[in-house]
Amino acid sequence: MSAAARHDDVTIGIDFGTLSGRAVVVRVSDGAELGSGVHEYEHAVMDSALTVYDGQQLPPDWALQNPGDYVNVLKNAVPAALRDAGVHPQQVIGVGTDFTACTMVPTTADGTPLNELPQFADRPHAYTKLWRHHAAQPQADRINQAAHRRSEPWISRYGGFISSEWEFAKGLQLLEEDPEVYAAMEHWVEAADWIVWQLTGTYVRNACSAGYKGILQDGEYPSRGFLTELNPEFAGFVEDKLDHPIGQLGTGPGPQRPGRSLDRPARRHRRGSGQRGRPRHQPGSRRRRGRPDGRHHGNLHLPRHDLLAAGRSAGHVRCGRRRHPRLTHGGMRPDSPAWGHLRLVREEPGPRRLRGRSPAARAQPARAAHREGSRAAPGAHGLIALDWHSGNRSVLVDHELSGAIIGQTLATRPEEIYRALLEATAFGTRTIIEAFNAAGVPVREFVVAGMGC
């Protein structure tokens, strides 16, 4: 806390989740949470139909969103959080945001999402591809095969696989399935960077997403020759659509000069310094994110020893002083079962014994399921669960896999399913830890952040 800071200064944190955006107001002087607000996305996740436009059916494994829903979070959840906290907007000295990567927005040169252009409103590829959009698995398979065939040095840093969720696979799918939309796209933007662009009027990339989901290693993206082998029309993807200055920790809002990415200077994007955003909202400070080379991740700084941080959205982050080949960064998401039965436990009324008597208790069936499930010994429910409801991130990196629950009977209770899925997530975490240990990178400390649903 600087000497110039006032006791009543606050910051706002905005979490853009899969179904809603949440804002929290925190007092700078002592970290006290003063208030919060939530805004549900009007169009949620479009995984079966393009509900924002004409209702056309979507193919399997698609997951789209309307970027306008993110802006509405700023317009609704943030004012609600300020009202709940009882503070004045002038007390706000900083804004932090986060998104689940890899969520991609195709835009024009000034940041306008392509779906907002009338000629593309009915084109699914013009909309935001959510992290759980897995229809690019065939493209991801080709990228992996080509990388191994060419002995690309970067592939080992991702455990030997890149995911269908990531920037290159989704970009290649866009090119091959809707080349007109691809040609009109000026920027292929992580949603985490797009929302900051809207807040500040400046487009910079965060180093975390670029180095992880964007395959930026040692200051270089995959080569033009590699991209040409995938598809000749994809050769200019980096220079024409993706490459952009990397934002630097500690830099305030406003125009950014190209900064250092990893250990080498990032190349200047051919379209300039990225000052053509649309400052539709009051400018705020740029979100700080970490470096993808193990030195920091989401402002998690380099420790003096190795540790594993398990987070709700970031997966499992291995932090240390060395780069280790053939280790996957992305963990088996602790919230992956939420898309299956845990979501039902959270949203459905459930049996009377789980609903509680008070209105507050009836509104929190997940808490009741957690309470009831925790009373039993591990495995006492007799169920075996596999929480691959959204495929498997680590260590298999295959989003065509599916989940399963074995052993259910007519007597199986919701809290037993809840407990089995949490145990499945714990097993997945153990698998990741064992992979680190087997590779000669022992995990000596374990930090858990977040929750299961």
Cβ burial, residue 90 (10 Å; 0-12/13-18/19+): exposed
Q: Supply the pLDDT for residue 323.
A: 53
Residue 401: pLDDT band by 50, 70, 90 thresholds? confident
Q: Which domains are delineated in the chain?
A: 10-293 (3.30.420.40), 336-448 (3.30.420.40)
Q: Supply the pLDDT for residue 258.
A: 39
Residue 252: pLDDT band by 50, 70, 90 thresholds? low
Is 365 strand, coil or helix? Answer: helix
DSSP string, 379-432: TTT--EEE--BTBB-SSS-BTT---EEE---TT--HHHHHHHHHHHHHHHHHHH
Q: Which two tokens stand for residue 325?
A: 């080949």
Q: Which of 1-5, 106-110, 219-223, 224-228 has the lowest mean pLDDT?
A: 1-5
Residue 69: pLDDT band by 50, 70, 90 thresholds? very high
Average the pLDDT over 211-219 and give the result. 93
Q: Which residue has the higher pLDDT, 319 or 417?
A: 417
Over residues 305-343, the pLDDT tens digits come to 444 444 433 345 445 545 544 444 443 343 344 344 455
Whether the Cβ atoms of residue 58 and residue 64 lie closer than 8 Å to each other: yes
Nearest alpha-carbon partner for 150 in 138, 158, 142, 140? 142
Dihedral (CA of 228, 229, 232, 238) sign:
negative
Q: Supply the pLDDT for residue 351.
A: 54
Query: Does the structure show a pLDDT above 80 at 149?
Result: yes
Query: Does the structure show a pLDDT above 90 at 408?
Result: yes
Q: Supply the pLDDT for residue 152.
A: 97
Which residues neighbour 119 within 8 Å (Cβ) at sequence distance 6 or greater?
none
Residue 185: pLDDT band by 50, 70, 90 thresholds? very high
Residue 350: pLDDT band by 50, 70, 90 thresholds? low
Average the pLDDT over 284-288 and give the result. 34
Average the pLDDT over 117-133 and give the result. 97
DSSP string, 107-142: E-TTS-BGGGSGGGTT-GGGSEE-TT--TTHHHHHH
Over residues 7-23, the pLDDT tens digits come to 889 999 999 999 999 99
Dihedral (CA of 300, 321, 168, 265) sign:
positive
Q: Supply the pLDDT for residue 334.
A: 36
Q: Supply the pLDDT for residue 453.
A: 42
Cβ burial, residue 3 (10 Å; 0-12/13-18/19+): exposed
Whether the Cβ atoms of residue 253 and residue 202 lie closer than 8 Å to each other: yes
Amino acid at 372: E
Q: Supply the pLDDT for residue 372.
A: 77
Q: Supply the pLDDT for residue 21.
A: 96
Please give the mean pLDDT across all residues of the chain.
Answer: 79
Axis-axis angle for helices 365-373, 414-438 (nearest 10): 70
Distances (CA, A) of 388 to 173, 177, 337, 400, 402: 23, 27, 7, 9, 5
Q: pTM for the full model?
A: 0.73
Percentage of residues of the chain with pLDDT beyond 90: 53
Report the C-alpha gap between 250 and 386 in whole angstroms. Answer: 42
Average the pLDDT over 401-430 and give the result. 89
Which residue's structure tokens are 């079966």? Answer: 48
Average the pLDDT over 259-273 and give the result. 33
Maximum average pLDDT range among 220-229, 274-283, 375-384, 438-447 = 220-229
